[in-house]
Structure 1
Amino acid sequence: MSVWRDSPRLLARLWRRDKLSFFGVVLLVVLVLLGLFGAYLPLGDPTKIGTGPRLFAPSWHLPFGTDELGRSFLPRVVQGIRSTFLISAIAVVITAVIGTLLGMLSGYFRGASDQLIARGADILFAFPALLLGLLIAAVMGPGEISVVAVISVATLPLFIRVVRSVTLGVAGRGFVTSAEVAGASSWRVMFVHILPNIMGAVVVQLSYALSIGMIIESALSFLGLGVQPPDASLGSLLRQGSAYLTIAPWLVLSSGAVLSAAIMSVNLVGDAVRDALEPLKGRSLT
Protein backbone atom coordinates (compact mmCIF):
# COMPACT_ATOMS: atom_id res chain seq x y z
CA MET A 1 0.00 0.00 0.00
CA SER A 2 1.36 3.48 -0.89
CA VAL A 3 0.89 6.49 1.37
CA TRP A 4 0.63 8.83 -1.59
CA ARG A 5 -1.96 6.66 -3.36
CA ASP A 6 -4.15 6.06 -0.32
CA SER A 7 -3.81 9.37 1.55
CA PRO A 8 -6.04 11.46 -0.78
CA ARG A 9 -8.85 8.93 -0.46
CA LEU A 10 -8.48 8.75 3.32
CA LEU A 11 -8.27 12.54 3.63
CA ALA A 12 -11.36 13.02 1.47
CA ARG A 13 -13.28 10.56 3.65
CA LEU A 14 -12.08 12.33 6.80
CA TRP A 15 -12.99 15.78 5.51
CA ARG A 16 -16.51 14.61 4.69
CA ARG A 17 -16.86 13.54 8.32
CA ASP A 18 -14.95 16.46 9.88
CA LYS A 19 -16.31 19.83 8.83
CA LEU A 20 -13.78 21.72 10.94
CA SER A 21 -10.87 20.11 9.10
CA PHE A 22 -12.55 20.83 5.79
CA PHE A 23 -12.90 24.47 6.83
CA GLY A 24 -9.20 24.54 7.72
CA VAL A 25 -8.23 23.18 4.31
CA VAL A 26 -10.40 25.70 2.46
CA LEU A 27 -9.08 28.57 4.59
CA LEU A 28 -5.46 27.52 4.04
CA VAL A 29 -5.96 27.23 0.27
CA VAL A 30 -7.59 30.68 0.16
CA LEU A 31 -4.77 32.28 2.16
CA VAL A 32 -2.04 30.61 0.10
CA LEU A 33 -3.67 31.62 -3.19
CA LEU A 34 -4.18 35.14 -1.87
CA GLY A 35 -0.53 35.33 -0.91
CA LEU A 36 0.64 33.96 -4.27
CA PHE A 37 -1.62 35.96 -6.56
CA GLY A 38 -2.68 38.90 -4.38
CA ALA A 39 -0.22 41.19 -6.16
CA TYR A 40 -2.16 40.64 -9.41
CA LEU A 41 -5.53 41.50 -7.86
CA PRO A 42 -6.91 45.07 -8.01
CA LEU A 43 -6.17 45.72 -4.34
CA GLY A 44 -3.79 48.63 -4.79
CA ASP A 45 -0.09 49.24 -4.25
CA PRO A 46 1.03 48.22 -0.73
CA THR A 47 3.79 50.86 -0.74
CA LYS A 48 1.86 53.81 -2.20
CA ILE A 49 1.70 56.67 0.29
CA GLY A 50 -1.37 58.89 0.50
CA THR A 51 -3.93 56.46 -0.85
CA GLY A 52 -6.30 57.86 1.75
CA PRO A 53 -6.27 59.96 4.94
CA ARG A 54 -3.81 58.90 7.62
CA LEU A 55 -5.16 56.25 10.01
CA PHE A 56 -8.49 56.23 8.18
CA ALA A 57 -11.04 53.77 9.56
CA PRO A 58 -12.16 50.79 7.41
CA SER A 59 -14.69 51.70 4.73
CA TRP A 60 -16.18 50.23 1.58
CA HIS A 61 -13.31 51.54 -0.55
CA LEU A 62 -10.62 50.82 2.06
CA PRO A 63 -11.77 47.60 3.77
CA PHE A 64 -8.83 47.48 6.22
CA GLY A 65 -8.41 51.24 6.54
CA THR A 66 -5.09 53.05 6.15
CA ASP A 67 -1.89 53.21 8.17
CA GLU A 68 0.05 56.20 9.50
CA LEU A 69 1.33 57.06 6.01
CA GLY A 70 -2.06 56.82 4.36
CA ARG A 71 -1.24 53.49 2.68
CA SER A 72 -4.13 51.11 2.08
CA PHE A 73 -3.74 48.38 4.70
CA LEU A 74 -5.44 45.59 2.74
CA PRO A 75 -2.69 45.15 0.12
CA ARG A 76 -0.11 45.35 2.91
CA VAL A 77 -1.83 42.51 4.76
CA VAL A 78 -1.86 40.47 1.53
CA GLN A 79 1.85 41.20 1.11
CA GLY A 80 2.33 40.14 4.73
CA ILE A 81 0.58 36.82 4.07
CA ARG A 82 2.97 36.11 1.19
CA SER A 83 6.07 37.04 3.20
CA THR A 84 5.09 35.07 6.30
CA PHE A 85 4.11 31.93 4.38
CA LEU A 86 7.11 32.09 2.03
CA ILE A 87 9.74 32.63 4.71
CA SER A 88 8.25 29.95 6.98
CA ALA A 89 7.83 27.46 4.13
CA ILE A 90 11.43 27.87 2.91
CA ALA A 91 12.77 27.43 6.44
CA VAL A 92 10.61 24.38 7.14
CA VAL A 93 11.56 22.69 3.87
CA ILE A 94 15.22 23.12 4.81
CA THR A 95 14.43 21.70 8.24
CA ALA A 96 12.55 18.75 6.73
CA VAL A 97 15.43 17.78 4.43
CA ILE A 98 18.13 18.05 7.10
CA GLY A 99 15.98 16.69 9.93
CA THR A 100 14.77 13.68 7.95
CA LEU A 101 18.32 12.76 6.91
CA LEU A 102 19.78 13.17 10.40
CA GLY A 103 16.83 11.41 12.03
CA MET A 104 17.16 8.40 9.73
CA LEU A 105 20.92 8.24 10.25
CA SER A 106 20.43 8.37 14.01
CA GLY A 107 17.64 5.78 14.11
CA TYR A 108 19.13 3.35 11.61
CA PHE A 109 22.85 3.30 12.48
CA ARG A 110 22.40 3.94 16.23
CA GLY A 111 25.60 3.69 18.26
CA ALA A 112 27.97 6.66 18.23
CA SER A 113 26.16 8.47 15.39
CA ASP A 114 22.88 8.18 17.30
CA GLN A 115 24.43 9.64 20.44
CA LEU A 116 26.09 12.47 18.53
CA ILE A 117 22.96 13.49 16.61
CA ALA A 118 20.58 13.04 19.55
CA ARG A 119 22.77 15.04 21.94
CA GLY A 120 23.24 17.76 19.32
CA ALA A 121 19.45 17.98 18.95
CA ASP A 122 19.10 18.24 22.73
CA ILE A 123 21.55 21.14 22.83
CA LEU A 124 19.68 23.02 20.10
CA PHE A 125 16.37 22.28 21.82
CA ALA A 126 17.63 24.04 24.96
CA PHE A 127 17.91 27.42 23.21
CA PRO A 128 14.71 29.53 23.07
CA ALA A 129 13.78 30.65 19.56
CA LEU A 130 13.85 34.35 20.47
CA LEU A 131 17.32 34.04 21.99
CA LEU A 132 18.49 32.31 18.83
CA GLY A 133 16.93 35.13 16.84
CA LEU A 134 18.85 37.75 18.78
CA LEU A 135 22.13 35.83 18.41
CA ILE A 136 21.72 35.16 14.69
CA ALA A 137 20.51 38.71 13.98
CA ALA A 138 23.56 40.06 15.81
CA VAL A 139 25.84 38.01 13.55
CA MET A 140 23.98 38.14 10.22
CA GLY A 141 21.93 41.29 10.69
CA PRO A 142 18.13 41.54 10.67
CA GLY A 143 16.26 40.36 7.59
CA GLU A 144 14.65 37.39 5.88
CA ILE A 145 17.80 35.23 5.79
CA SER A 146 18.23 35.55 9.54
CA VAL A 147 14.60 34.57 10.10
CA VAL A 148 14.97 31.50 7.86
CA ALA A 149 18.05 30.47 9.83
CA VAL A 150 16.30 30.93 13.18
CA ILE A 151 13.21 28.94 12.13
CA SER A 152 15.34 26.13 10.71
CA VAL A 153 17.48 25.85 13.83
CA ALA A 154 14.49 26.14 16.19
CA THR A 155 12.36 23.48 14.46
CA LEU A 156 15.20 21.07 13.62
CA PRO A 157 15.58 19.31 17.02
CA LEU A 158 11.93 18.21 17.25
CA PHE A 159 12.00 17.09 13.61
CA ILE A 160 15.07 14.95 14.29
CA ARG A 161 13.43 13.42 17.37
CA VAL A 162 10.23 12.51 15.52
CA VAL A 163 12.04 11.00 12.52
CA ARG A 164 14.48 9.12 14.76
CA SER A 165 11.60 7.66 16.76
CA VAL A 166 9.67 6.34 13.76
CA THR A 167 12.90 5.13 12.11
CA LEU A 168 13.73 3.04 15.18
CA GLY A 169 10.35 1.34 14.83
CA VAL A 170 10.67 0.69 11.10
CA ALA A 171 14.35 -0.37 11.13
CA GLY A 172 13.53 -3.57 13.00
CA ARG A 173 10.79 -4.68 10.60
CA GLY A 174 11.11 -7.82 8.53
CA PHE A 175 11.29 -6.18 5.13
CA VAL A 176 14.27 -4.07 6.26
CA THR A 177 16.06 -7.17 7.55
CA SER A 178 15.31 -8.96 4.27
CA ALA A 179 16.80 -6.08 2.28
CA GLU A 180 19.94 -6.13 4.42
CA VAL A 181 20.32 -9.89 4.03
CA ALA A 182 19.89 -9.51 0.26
CA GLY A 183 22.93 -7.23 0.22
CA ALA A 184 21.28 -3.82 -0.11
CA SER A 185 23.51 -0.91 0.92
CA SER A 186 22.66 1.13 3.99
CA TRP A 187 21.71 4.16 1.87
CA ARG A 188 19.42 2.04 -0.29
CA VAL A 189 17.76 0.56 2.79
CA MET A 190 17.16 4.03 4.24
CA PHE A 191 15.87 5.75 1.12
CA VAL A 192 14.04 2.87 -0.59
CA HIS A 193 12.66 0.89 2.34
CA ILE A 194 12.60 3.15 5.43
CA LEU A 195 11.85 6.59 4.00
CA PRO A 196 8.51 5.66 2.33
CA ASN A 197 7.34 4.13 5.61
CA ILE A 198 8.06 7.23 7.68
CA MET A 199 6.75 9.81 5.20
CA GLY A 200 3.41 10.00 7.02
CA ALA A 201 5.13 11.17 10.21
CA VAL A 202 7.34 13.53 8.21
CA VAL A 203 4.35 15.18 6.50
CA VAL A 204 2.49 15.63 9.78
CA GLN A 205 5.55 17.07 11.51
CA LEU A 206 6.10 19.33 8.49
CA SER A 207 2.68 20.90 8.95
CA TYR A 208 3.23 21.53 12.65
CA ALA A 209 6.71 22.92 11.99
CA LEU A 210 5.15 25.33 9.50
CA SER A 211 2.80 26.73 12.13
CA ILE A 212 5.69 27.07 14.60
CA GLY A 213 7.73 28.77 11.88
CA MET A 214 4.97 31.30 11.28
CA ILE A 215 4.84 32.10 14.99
CA ILE A 216 8.63 32.54 15.15
CA GLU A 217 8.69 34.69 12.00
CA SER A 218 5.93 36.91 13.34
CA ALA A 219 7.65 37.27 16.71
CA LEU A 220 10.99 38.19 15.16
CA SER A 221 9.38 40.64 12.72
CA PHE A 222 7.42 42.15 15.62
CA LEU A 223 10.76 42.78 17.34
CA GLY A 224 12.18 44.37 14.18
CA LEU A 225 14.55 41.47 13.41
CA GLY A 226 12.65 40.06 10.45
CA VAL A 227 11.18 41.60 7.31
CA GLN A 228 12.30 45.20 6.98
CA PRO A 229 10.30 48.21 5.68
CA PRO A 230 8.95 48.99 3.16
CA ASP A 231 8.22 45.25 2.79
CA ALA A 232 5.74 43.76 5.23
CA SER A 233 5.00 40.52 7.02
CA LEU A 234 2.14 39.84 9.39
CA GLY A 235 4.48 40.24 12.36
CA SER A 236 5.86 43.58 11.20
CA LEU A 237 2.31 44.81 10.56
CA LEU A 238 1.40 43.92 14.13
CA ARG A 239 4.43 45.89 15.33
CA GLN A 240 3.42 48.83 13.16
CA GLY A 241 -0.18 48.76 14.37
CA SER A 242 0.69 48.37 18.05
CA ALA A 243 1.96 51.98 18.12
CA TYR A 244 -1.54 53.20 17.18
CA LEU A 245 -3.59 50.64 19.09
CA THR A 246 -5.72 53.20 20.94
CA ILE A 247 -6.57 55.36 17.91
CA ALA A 248 -6.44 52.85 15.04
CA PRO A 249 -7.13 49.37 16.46
CA TRP A 250 -8.07 48.00 13.03
CA LEU A 251 -4.38 47.82 12.12
CA VAL A 252 -3.71 45.23 14.82
CA LEU A 253 -7.08 43.51 14.54
CA SER A 254 -6.84 42.88 10.78
CA SER A 255 -3.26 41.63 10.69
CA GLY A 256 -3.69 39.69 13.96
CA ALA A 257 -6.88 38.02 12.75
CA VAL A 258 -5.24 36.97 9.49
CA LEU A 259 -2.18 35.61 11.31
CA SER A 260 -4.39 33.65 13.73
CA ALA A 261 -6.44 32.27 10.84
CA ALA A 262 -3.29 31.20 8.99
CA ILE A 263 -1.82 29.36 12.00
CA MET A 264 -5.18 27.77 12.83
CA SER A 265 -5.66 26.55 9.26
CA VAL A 266 -2.20 24.96 9.16
CA ASN A 267 -2.83 23.19 12.47
CA LEU A 268 -6.24 21.95 11.31
CA VAL A 269 -4.72 20.56 8.12
CA GLY A 270 -2.00 18.89 10.19
CA ASP A 271 -4.63 17.27 12.41
CA ALA A 272 -6.55 16.10 9.34
CA VAL A 273 -3.44 14.54 7.80
CA ARG A 274 -2.53 12.84 11.08
CA ASP A 275 -6.02 11.38 11.50
CA ALA A 276 -6.12 10.27 7.87
CA LEU A 277 -2.77 8.47 8.13
CA GLU A 278 -3.58 6.82 11.47
CA PRO A 279 -4.97 3.63 9.86
CA LEU A 280 -1.67 3.21 8.02
CA LYS A 281 0.36 2.84 11.21
CA GLY A 282 2.11 -0.47 11.50
CA ARG A 283 1.62 -1.40 7.86
CA SER A 284 4.38 -1.85 5.32
CA LEU A 285 4.35 0.52 2.35
CA THR A 286 6.92 -1.35 0.28
Structure 2
Amino acid sequence: MSALRLTGAALGRLMREDKLSFLGLVILVLLILVGLLGPWLPLGDPTRIAAGPRLGPPSWAFPFGTDELGRSYLPRVVEGIRATFLLSIVAVSITAVIGSFFGMLAGYFRGMTDHLVARGADILFAFPAIIVGLLVAALMGPGQISAVAVISIATIPLFIRVVRSVTLSVAGRGFVTASEVAGATPWRVMIVHILPNIIGAVIVQLTYAMSIGMIIESTLSYLGLGVQPPQASLGSLLREGSAYLTIAPWLVLSAGIVLSLAIMSVNLVGDAIRDAIEPLKGRALS
Protein backbone atom coordinates (compact mmCIF):
# COMPACT_ATOMS: atom_id res chain seq x y z
CA MET A 1 0.00 0.00 0.00
CA SER A 2 2.88 2.38 0.74
CA ALA A 3 4.20 1.80 -2.79
CA LEU A 4 0.78 2.68 -4.18
CA ARG A 5 0.66 5.87 -2.11
CA LEU A 6 4.12 6.87 -3.35
CA THR A 7 3.04 6.16 -6.91
CA GLY A 8 -0.11 8.22 -6.39
CA ALA A 9 1.93 11.15 -5.07
CA ALA A 10 4.35 10.91 -8.00
CA LEU A 11 1.43 10.71 -10.43
CA GLY A 12 -0.18 13.80 -8.92
CA ARG A 13 3.09 15.74 -9.20
CA LEU A 14 3.56 14.56 -12.79
CA MET A 15 0.03 15.62 -13.73
CA ARG A 16 0.73 19.11 -12.42
CA GLU A 17 3.93 19.35 -14.44
CA ASP A 18 2.82 17.57 -17.61
CA LYS A 19 0.04 19.67 -19.13
CA LEU A 20 -0.68 17.17 -21.89
CA SER A 21 -1.29 14.29 -19.48
CA PHE A 22 -3.41 16.57 -17.29
CA LEU A 23 -5.49 17.48 -20.34
CA GLY A 24 -5.91 13.78 -21.11
CA LEU A 25 -7.09 13.14 -17.56
CA VAL A 26 -9.62 15.98 -17.77
CA ILE A 27 -11.00 14.71 -21.09
CA LEU A 28 -11.18 11.15 -19.78
CA VAL A 29 -13.03 12.17 -16.61
CA LEU A 30 -15.46 14.34 -18.58
CA LEU A 31 -16.22 11.55 -21.07
CA ILE A 32 -16.80 9.03 -18.29
CA LEU A 33 -19.04 11.42 -16.35
CA VAL A 34 -21.05 12.32 -19.44
CA GLY A 35 -21.45 8.65 -20.33
CA LEU A 36 -22.54 7.67 -16.82
CA LEU A 37 -24.87 10.63 -16.28
CA GLY A 38 -26.22 10.64 -19.84
CA PRO A 39 -29.67 9.18 -19.00
CA TRP A 40 -30.22 11.95 -16.44
CA LEU A 41 -28.89 14.84 -18.52
CA PRO A 42 -31.37 16.99 -20.52
CA LEU A 43 -30.14 15.70 -23.85
CA GLY A 44 -33.27 14.02 -25.16
CA ASP A 45 -34.26 10.45 -25.87
CA PRO A 46 -31.67 8.64 -28.03
CA THR A 47 -34.33 6.30 -29.46
CA ARG A 48 -37.05 8.88 -30.25
CA ILE A 49 -37.78 8.77 -33.96
CA ALA A 50 -38.70 11.97 -35.84
CA ALA A 51 -37.45 14.20 -33.03
CA GLY A 52 -36.21 16.47 -35.81
CA PRO A 53 -35.73 16.50 -39.59
CA ARG A 54 -34.03 13.54 -41.21
CA LEU A 55 -30.25 14.01 -41.58
CA GLY A 56 -30.52 17.54 -40.21
CA PRO A 57 -27.22 19.44 -39.80
CA PRO A 58 -25.96 20.55 -36.37
CA SER A 59 -28.02 23.35 -34.84
CA TRP A 60 -28.87 24.84 -31.46
CA ALA A 61 -31.71 22.33 -31.06
CA PHE A 62 -29.59 19.39 -32.27
CA PRO A 63 -25.87 20.14 -31.61
CA PHE A 64 -24.72 16.94 -33.34
CA GLY A 65 -27.46 16.95 -35.97
CA THR A 66 -29.99 14.18 -36.56
CA ASP A 67 -29.71 10.76 -38.18
CA GLU A 68 -31.65 9.11 -40.98
CA LEU A 69 -34.63 8.49 -38.67
CA GLY A 70 -34.70 12.00 -37.30
CA ARG A 71 -33.22 10.98 -33.95
CA SER A 72 -31.09 13.51 -32.11
CA TYR A 73 -27.48 12.39 -32.52
CA LEU A 74 -26.08 13.94 -29.33
CA PRO A 75 -27.85 11.56 -26.90
CA ARG A 76 -26.94 8.66 -29.19
CA VAL A 77 -23.26 9.62 -29.06
CA VAL A 78 -23.49 9.88 -25.25
CA GLU A 79 -25.09 6.42 -25.18
CA GLY A 80 -22.27 5.21 -27.42
CA ILE A 81 -19.67 6.59 -25.01
CA ARG A 82 -21.27 4.70 -22.15
CA ALA A 83 -21.47 1.43 -24.08
CA THR A 84 -17.93 1.60 -25.44
CA PHE A 85 -16.37 2.48 -22.09
CA LEU A 86 -18.47 -0.03 -20.15
CA LEU A 87 -17.75 -2.98 -22.42
CA SER A 88 -14.03 -2.15 -22.57
CA ILE A 89 -13.74 -1.71 -18.79
CA VAL A 90 -15.55 -4.98 -18.06
CA ALA A 91 -13.51 -6.94 -20.60
CA VAL A 92 -10.16 -5.48 -19.59
CA SER A 93 -10.89 -5.99 -15.88
CA ILE A 94 -11.58 -9.67 -16.53
CA THR A 95 -8.43 -9.84 -18.61
CA ALA A 96 -6.32 -8.15 -15.92
CA VAL A 97 -7.33 -10.74 -13.31
CA ILE A 98 -6.84 -13.77 -15.56
CA GLY A 99 -3.71 -12.48 -17.30
CA SER A 100 -2.05 -11.41 -14.04
CA PHE A 101 -2.76 -14.79 -12.47
CA PHE A 102 -1.25 -16.81 -15.30
CA GLY A 103 1.60 -14.32 -15.76
CA MET A 104 2.58 -14.69 -12.09
CA LEU A 105 2.34 -18.47 -12.34
CA ALA A 106 4.64 -18.51 -15.36
CA GLY A 107 7.13 -16.05 -13.90
CA TYR A 108 7.34 -17.63 -10.45
CA PHE A 109 7.21 -21.38 -11.12
CA ARG A 110 9.08 -21.20 -14.45
CA GLY A 111 9.99 -24.51 -16.09
CA MET A 112 7.10 -26.38 -17.70
CA THR A 113 4.50 -24.01 -16.25
CA ASP A 114 6.25 -21.05 -17.86
CA HIS A 115 6.56 -22.92 -21.15
CA LEU A 116 2.86 -23.89 -21.29
CA VAL A 117 1.58 -20.44 -20.32
CA ALA A 118 3.94 -18.62 -22.69
CA ARG A 119 3.08 -20.88 -25.62
CA GLY A 120 -0.64 -20.50 -24.88
CA ALA A 121 -0.26 -16.71 -24.90
CA ASP A 122 1.64 -16.92 -28.20
CA ILE A 123 -1.18 -18.96 -29.74
CA LEU A 124 -3.81 -16.42 -28.67
CA PHE A 125 -1.62 -13.56 -29.84
CA ALA A 126 -1.33 -15.13 -33.30
CA PHE A 127 -5.06 -14.74 -34.00
CA PRO A 128 -6.14 -11.27 -35.23
CA ALA A 129 -8.97 -9.76 -33.18
CA ILE A 130 -11.25 -9.61 -36.24
CA ILE A 131 -10.86 -13.35 -36.88
CA VAL A 132 -11.55 -14.07 -33.22
CA GLY A 133 -14.59 -11.79 -33.41
CA LEU A 134 -15.98 -13.70 -36.39
CA LEU A 135 -15.46 -17.03 -34.63
CA VAL A 136 -17.02 -15.84 -31.36
CA ALA A 137 -19.96 -14.23 -33.18
CA ALA A 138 -20.54 -17.46 -35.10
CA LEU A 139 -20.61 -19.46 -31.84
CA MET A 140 -22.36 -17.03 -29.50
CA GLY A 141 -24.06 -14.64 -31.88
CA PRO A 142 -23.31 -10.92 -32.18
CA GLY A 143 -23.84 -8.76 -29.11
CA GLN A 144 -22.25 -7.29 -26.03
CA ILE A 145 -21.16 -10.62 -24.53
CA SER A 146 -19.36 -11.51 -27.74
CA ALA A 147 -17.61 -8.13 -27.72
CA VAL A 148 -16.43 -8.65 -24.13
CA ALA A 149 -15.18 -12.14 -24.99
CA VAL A 150 -13.24 -10.93 -28.03
CA ILE A 151 -11.61 -8.03 -26.15
CA SER A 152 -10.61 -10.38 -23.33
CA ILE A 153 -9.12 -12.96 -25.68
CA ALA A 154 -7.23 -10.30 -27.63
CA THR A 155 -5.72 -8.56 -24.58
CA ILE A 156 -4.93 -11.54 -22.33
CA PRO A 157 -1.61 -12.33 -24.11
CA LEU A 158 -0.44 -8.75 -23.52
CA PHE A 159 -1.10 -9.02 -19.78
CA ILE A 160 0.53 -12.43 -19.53
CA ARG A 161 3.70 -11.24 -21.27
CA VAL A 162 4.04 -8.07 -19.18
CA VAL A 163 3.24 -9.71 -15.83
CA ARG A 164 5.45 -12.71 -16.57
CA SER A 165 8.40 -10.44 -17.40
CA VAL A 166 7.99 -8.33 -14.25
CA THR A 167 7.46 -11.41 -12.07
CA LEU A 168 10.67 -12.98 -13.36
CA SER A 169 12.63 -9.96 -12.16
CA VAL A 170 10.87 -9.76 -8.78
CA ALA A 171 11.00 -13.50 -8.05
CA GLY A 172 14.80 -13.45 -7.95
CA ARG A 173 15.10 -10.75 -5.30
CA GLY A 174 16.33 -11.34 -1.79
CA PHE A 175 13.08 -10.74 0.08
CA VAL A 176 11.34 -13.43 -2.01
CA THR A 177 14.16 -15.89 -1.33
CA ALA A 178 14.05 -15.07 2.40
CA SER A 179 10.31 -15.69 2.46
CA GLU A 180 10.77 -19.06 0.77
CA VAL A 181 13.50 -20.04 3.22
CA ALA A 182 11.20 -19.08 6.09
CA GLY A 183 8.70 -21.65 4.84
CA ALA A 184 6.13 -19.47 3.04
CA THR A 185 3.98 -21.32 0.51
CA PRO A 186 4.24 -20.36 -3.17
CA TRP A 187 0.75 -18.83 -3.08
CA ARG A 188 1.64 -16.68 -0.09
CA VAL A 189 4.84 -15.55 -1.77
CA MET A 190 2.95 -14.54 -4.91
CA ILE A 191 0.12 -12.75 -3.11
CA VAL A 192 2.06 -11.06 -0.28
CA HIS A 193 5.45 -10.39 -1.88
CA ILE A 194 5.19 -10.48 -5.67
CA LEU A 195 1.76 -9.00 -6.38
CA PRO A 196 2.34 -5.67 -4.54
CA ASN A 197 5.59 -5.22 -6.49
CA ILE A 198 4.04 -5.80 -9.91
CA ILE A 199 0.76 -3.95 -9.39
CA GLY A 200 2.21 -0.79 -10.95
CA ALA A 201 3.01 -2.61 -14.19
CA VAL A 202 -0.47 -4.16 -14.15
CA ILE A 203 -2.10 -0.72 -13.83
CA VAL A 204 -0.02 0.67 -16.70
CA GLN A 205 -0.91 -2.29 -18.89
CA LEU A 206 -4.55 -1.90 -17.84
CA THR A 207 -4.71 1.61 -19.29
CA TYR A 208 -3.13 0.60 -22.58
CA ALA A 209 -5.37 -2.47 -22.80
CA MET A 210 -8.33 -0.15 -22.24
CA SER A 211 -7.51 1.82 -25.38
CA ILE A 212 -7.00 -1.42 -27.33
CA GLY A 213 -10.33 -2.66 -25.98
CA MET A 214 -12.13 0.46 -27.22
CA ILE A 215 -10.60 0.04 -30.67
CA ILE A 216 -11.65 -3.63 -30.81
CA GLU A 217 -15.15 -2.91 -29.52
CA SER A 218 -15.64 -0.11 -32.03
CA THR A 219 -14.36 -2.31 -34.84
CA LEU A 220 -16.69 -5.17 -33.91
CA SER A 221 -19.68 -2.84 -33.61
CA TYR A 222 -18.76 -1.21 -36.93
CA LEU A 223 -18.87 -4.68 -38.52
CA GLY A 224 -22.19 -5.47 -36.83
CA LEU A 225 -20.71 -8.03 -34.43
CA GLY A 226 -20.86 -5.94 -31.26
CA VAL A 227 -23.59 -3.71 -29.85
CA GLN A 228 -26.85 -4.24 -31.73
CA PRO A 229 -29.57 -1.69 -32.61
CA PRO A 230 -31.45 0.10 -31.14
CA GLN A 231 -28.58 0.37 -28.65
CA ALA A 232 -25.61 2.41 -29.80
CA SER A 233 -21.85 2.34 -29.37
CA LEU A 234 -19.32 4.62 -31.00
CA GLY A 235 -18.47 1.91 -33.52
CA SER A 236 -22.08 1.27 -34.52
CA LEU A 237 -22.63 5.02 -34.90
CA LEU A 238 -19.65 5.17 -37.25
CA ARG A 239 -21.18 2.34 -39.28
CA GLU A 240 -24.57 4.06 -39.49
CA GLY A 241 -23.05 7.43 -40.35
CA SER A 242 -20.72 6.05 -43.03
CA ALA A 243 -23.72 5.32 -45.25
CA TYR A 244 -24.46 9.07 -45.37
CA LEU A 245 -20.89 10.35 -45.39
CA THR A 246 -21.30 12.49 -48.51
CA ILE A 247 -24.56 14.17 -47.47
CA ALA A 248 -24.30 14.15 -43.64
CA PRO A 249 -20.61 13.98 -42.70
CA TRP A 250 -21.33 15.30 -39.19
CA LEU A 251 -22.63 11.87 -38.20
CA VAL A 252 -19.23 10.26 -38.74
CA LEU A 253 -17.27 13.26 -37.49
CA SER A 254 -19.07 13.50 -34.15
CA ALA A 255 -18.70 9.81 -33.26
CA GLY A 256 -15.19 9.63 -34.73
CA ILE A 257 -13.89 12.67 -32.86
CA VAL A 258 -15.33 11.46 -29.56
CA LEU A 259 -13.80 7.99 -30.07
CA SER A 260 -10.42 9.53 -30.94
CA LEU A 261 -10.54 11.76 -27.84
CA ALA A 262 -11.41 8.76 -25.65
CA ILE A 263 -8.51 6.65 -26.95
CA MET A 264 -6.09 9.58 -26.82
CA SER A 265 -7.02 10.47 -23.24
CA VAL A 266 -6.62 6.90 -22.02
CA ASN A 267 -3.18 6.66 -23.64
CA LEU A 268 -2.07 9.99 -22.16
CA VAL A 269 -3.15 8.91 -18.68
CA GLY A 270 -1.37 5.60 -19.21
CA ASP A 271 1.82 7.45 -20.19
CA ALA A 272 1.57 9.57 -17.04
CA ILE A 273 1.17 6.48 -14.84
CA ARG A 274 4.14 4.85 -16.56
CA ASP A 275 6.27 7.95 -16.06
CA ALA A 276 5.27 8.13 -12.38
CA ILE A 277 6.31 4.51 -11.85
CA GLU A 278 9.44 4.63 -14.00
CA PRO A 279 10.44 8.32 -14.11
CA LEU A 280 13.83 7.62 -15.68
CA LYS A 281 12.23 5.77 -18.58
CA GLY A 282 9.38 8.17 -19.19
CA ARG A 283 9.16 10.82 -21.84
CA ALA A 284 10.49 14.29 -21.18
CA LEU A 285 8.00 16.56 -19.48
CA SER A 286 6.70 19.43 -21.56
- Listed as ranges, the gaps of 5+ residues in structure 2 are 282-286
Could you say which residue in structure 1 is the equivalent of 2:159?
A: 159
Give yes or no for the alignment of 1:207 onto 2:220: no
Could you say which residue in structure 1 is the equivalent of 2:254?
A: 254
Aligned residues, how many?
A: 281
**Using the alignment, how far apart are the partners of 2:161 and 2:124 within structure 1?**
12
**Secondary structure of 1:20's match?**
helix
How far did 1:280 drift? 9.6
**Using the alignment, how far apart are the partners of 1:167 and 1:4 within structure 2?**
17
Letter in 2 for 1:98: I
Could you say which residue in structure 1 is the equivalent of 2:183?
A: 183
**Using the alignment, how far apart are the partners of 1:196 and 1:87 within structure 2?**
27
**Using the alignment, how far apart are the partners of 1:3 and 1:131 within structure 2?**
40
Could you say which residue in structure 2 is the equivalent of 1:230?
A: 230
**Secondary structure of 2:278's match?**
helix
Could you say which residue in structure 2 is the equivalent of 1:133?
A: 133
How far did 1:17 drift? 1.2
Q: Map 1:267-286; keep pairs closer than 5 Å.
A: 267-279=267-279
How far did 1:2 drift? 2.2
Letter in 1 for 2:149: A
Could you say which residue in structure 1 is the equivalent of 2:17?
A: 17
Letter in 2 for 1:77: V
Could you say which residue in structure 2 is the equivalent of 1:107?
A: 107
Could you say which residue in structure 1 is the equivalent of 2:284?
A: none
**Secondary structure of 2:62's match?**
coil
Letter in 1 for 2:59: S
Give yes or no for the alignment of 1:65 onto 2:61: no
Percent sequence identity is 75
- Listed as ranges, the gaps of 5+ residues in structure 1 are 282-286
After superposing on structure 2, the runs of 4+ consecutive aligned residues of structure 1 that deviate more than 2 Å are none
**Using the alignment, how far apart are the partners of 1:149 and 1:280 within structure 2?**
36
Could you say which residue in structure 1 is the equivalent of 2:240?
A: 240
How far did 1:162 drift? 0.3
**Using the alignment, how far apart are the partners of 1:215 and 1:114 within structure 2?**
30
Q: Map 1:77-116; keep pairs closer than 5 Å.
A: 77-116=77-116
Cα deviations across residues 206-265 of structure 1 (Å, max 9, x unaligned)? 000000000000000000000000000000000000000000000000000000000000
TM score, norm. by length of structure 2: 0.97
**Using the alignment, how far apart are the partners of 2:158 and 2:8 within structure 1?**
26
Question: Pairwise CA RMSD of aligned residues?
Answer: 1.1
Give yes or no for the alignment of 1:29 onto 2:29: yes
TM score, norm. by length of structure 1: 0.97
Could you say which residue in structure 1 is the equivalent of 2:122?
A: 122
**Using the alignment, how far apart are the partners of 1:35 and 1:256 within structure 2?**
16
How far did 1:9 drift? 1.1
Letter in 2 for 1:147: A
**Secondary structure of 2:192's match?**
helix
**Using the alignment, how far apart are the partners of 2:12 and 2:156 within structure 1?**
30
